[in-house]
Structure 1
Amino acid sequence: MPHRRNALTPEALAMVDAIARTGSFAAAAREMGKVPSALTYSVRQLEDALDVLLFDRSSRQAQLTPAGTELLVEGRRLLQEMDAVANRVRRVAGGWETELSISLDDIVSPTTMFELIETFSGLCTGDGEAGSGGGTRLRLRNDVLAGTWEALVHGQADLAIGVAGDFANPGGIQLEPLGHVDFVFCVAPHHPLAGAPDPLTPDCLLQHRAVAVADTAQRLTPVTVNLLPGQDVLTVPSLRLKLEALLRGLGCGYLPEPLVRPHLDAGHLVAKRGPRGDRPVALHYAWRGDRSGLGLGRALRWWLDQLAKPKTREALLHRQAGRLPG
């Protein structure tokens, strides 16, 4: 029987997490690239080492016991801390990070982002030779709502741009304001709500399908915004697909004003007053580390320097095309 400490490996903790998320041993085995029998054997070894039962096998789905739930919660925290330590060691040792992962909320302007990447790619190394961000490889993620924060908290991203909402900070994460974005409730001109009197009431909206963008969070509780209980919903994976659905009259919903402005001006969409009004949404950018930047890699510091510029923040939120303001 393995020692308890030796049994609690990152692989074992990730295995418990996969089973809990997918709801079955078979689904978790597929996700991890294992056969179900091997996964079942690994779970039994872990249970023997800890001398506890982690999963209730009396039901068809893999249900965690109280002990299993505690291991899941603490295991996720440990995995998060391991990722944080590995990232810090890499930054301290190398100066320029080998890789920098950036989580972008779907609201961020891709045009502005790629212009920043062009500038970053033209940076020089310390000895003056041309390089790609000092040799740092960039990895971009597209996340939505709580998924942007989750990517940073769980070590899948070094920098998160477009964080919305008031999330619990586990410690060590810094946030700075990115800006505010107005959201407009809109429908196609041929949609029944186009001629309805403003403001639209909840009773009126319940009779029509809403179009919503799916939260990409898998571990945190997904965020649901501006949906009414019992309302028919068409769920799409991005704001741009939501825009396409609204243009086709497949539903109604809120979209960022910069994204829909050309379509409103052209008459392809009609702005309506929704129940919550047109209150702006506050967004942030976030990273792991102290405000002084000590211990941060040079690539991350470069991106934080760009985000500190008001014109850059404005362009990231309010421009869909064209050049970055000088």
Structure 2
Amino acid sequence: MHWTLDQLTLFIACAERGSFSAAARHAGRAQSVVSTAIANLELDLDCELFDRSTRSPTLTAAGQALLPEARAVIAQCQRLTARAETLARGEEAQLVIAIDEALVEMPPVDATLEALAERYPALSLTLLYGGEGDVANWVEERTANLGIMLSQDHSPGELDATRIALLRQHWIVGSRHALAQQSNIGPQHLMQHRQLMIASRRRPGQTPESTPQSTHCWRLNSFYSMAELATRGLGWAILPEHIAHYPPFRQRLVRLTSDALGQAPSIEVETVIRRDTGQGPIARWLTAQLRERFREMGAQKP
């Protein structure tokens, strides 16, 4: 086995960009260099990765099977390099943390920040608050070192996610909504009323939107805005428990419960970092503290 990481990187680039020439432009290499690297990789692996009989080379069955493995090898190498860099740097002098606005006034998060201030008083800290898509994008674009967010479906990109808790959610509706007056509510009843859902802030085409459970749907980019509209009778929603119990909403929302509905799906709390940057000792400490404090609050284990 004599294949190299450079060959794997070019293999991934060719597969993702659709041609050897496009991969060469992306890598800043001559096309002949890329073609030779792929040919040598095929010899080393003893299998053909691309079908060259078509106008543009396409992955063979073997190429499709080995592409995820190549990505995994490169990702692990990025983690190794990032870990070595953080060890060489020592403790971070400054840290930028992006926090999902849905976790504002969340006791485990606030308690962790208080402990951070006490343990690392010399740390220069910047906190950025935004929606789920904002948090992930800030980390991916290196605006933030660490993100703390309620997880939504998102593409892997350059991010590594660590799940630290599962939060309970509830089916909720405004106290004056028609559903609040019914009993034995099932999915067929929800379908007849407007659903309020979280809208992804990610770039178009980056991740699919969740499928609504109602024929009528409004999407919002804030759980708190969703709760406010629900209190006004504009629809039903699935909300994290701590937001449904937030003082401005608590007396104006009703939890929908029935055997037919069952338990609303939990939502994950996760930290995200760039895979090629890694975490310094303070960021790792903070992640561990968050997990422990969510556990103490009684959040479900991830």
- The equivalent residue for 1:298 is 281
Change (3 A) 1:11 1:137: farther
SS of match in other structure, 2:50: coil
Change (3 A) 1:232 1:55: farther
Q: For 1:224 and 1:299, how far apart are their aligned partners in 2? A: 35
Change (3 A) 1:41 1:119: closer
CA contact (8 A) 2:197 2:218 kept: yes
CA contact (8 A) 2:185 2:261 kept: no
Q: Does 1:243 align with 2:227?
A: yes
Change (3 A) 1:97 1:84: farther
- The equivalent residue for 2:179 is 193
**1:203 partner letter:** Q
SS of match in other structure, 1:8: helix
* TM-aligned CA deviation for residue 70 of structure 1: 3.7
For the aligned residues, what is the CA RMSD? 5.6
CA contact (8 A) 2:99 2:127 kept: no
Change (3 A) 1:36 1:286: closer
- The equivalent residue for 2:116 is 120
2:195 to 205, 210, 234: 210
CA contact (8 A) 2:101 2:129 kept: no
CA contact (8 A) 2:131 2:222 kept: no
SS of match in other structure, 1:198: coil
Q: For 1:185 and 1:213, how far apart are their aligned partners in 2? A: 14
Q: For 2:110 and 2:14, how far apart are their aligned partners in 1? A: 36
Change (3 A) 1:220 1:101: farther
Change (3 A) 1:194 1:211: same
Task: Write the deviation string for residues 71-102 of structure 1: whole angstroms up to 9, x where unpaired.
Answer: 54134313321231122102322221467676
Change (3 A) 1:56 1:235: farther
- The equivalent residue for 1:53 is 50
Q: For 2:151 and 2:282, how far apart are their aligned partners in 1? A: 20
For 1:214-229, what aligned pairs fall within 5 Å after superposition?
Answer: 214=199, 227-228=212-213
Gaps of 5+ in 1: 26-34, 125-129, 166-171, 289-295, 318-326
* TM-aligned CA deviation for residue 9 of structure 1: 6.3
Q: Does 1:257 align with 2:248?
A: no
* TM-aligned CA deviation for residue 205 of structure 1: 1.6
Change (3 A) 1:64 1:217: farther
Change (3 A) 1:239 1:86: farther
Q: For 1:250 and 1:74, how far apart are their aligned partners in 2? A: 48
Q: How many residues align?
A: 267
Q: For 2:126 and 2:14, how far apart are their aligned partners in 1? A: 29
CA contact (8 A) 2:101 2:131 kept: yes
CA contact (8 A) 2:196 2:236 kept: yes
Change (3 A) 1:203 1:174: closer
Give me the TM-score of the superposition, normalised by structure 2.
0.58
Report the identity percentage. 20
Q: For 1:57 and 1:139, how far apart are their aligned partners in 2? A: 49
- The equivalent residue for 1:271 is 255
Change (3 A) 1:55 1:265: farther
**1:8 partner letter:** Q
SS of match in other structure, 1:79: helix
Q: For 1:54 and 1:220, how far apart are their aligned partners in 2? A: 28
CA contact (8 A) 1:181 1:280 kept: no
Give me the TM-score of the superposition, normalised by structure 1.
0.54
Q: For 2:179 and 2:58, how far apart are their aligned partners in 1? A: 44
Q: Does 1:77 align with 2:72?
A: yes
Change (3 A) 1:54 1:67: farther
Change (3 A) 1:6 1:81: closer
Task: Write the deviation string for residues 268-313 of structure 1: whole angstroms up to 9, x where unpaired.
Answer: x33322643346848566799xxxxxxx843035315633654895
Q: For 2:180 and 2:54, how far apart are their aligned partners in 1? A: 53
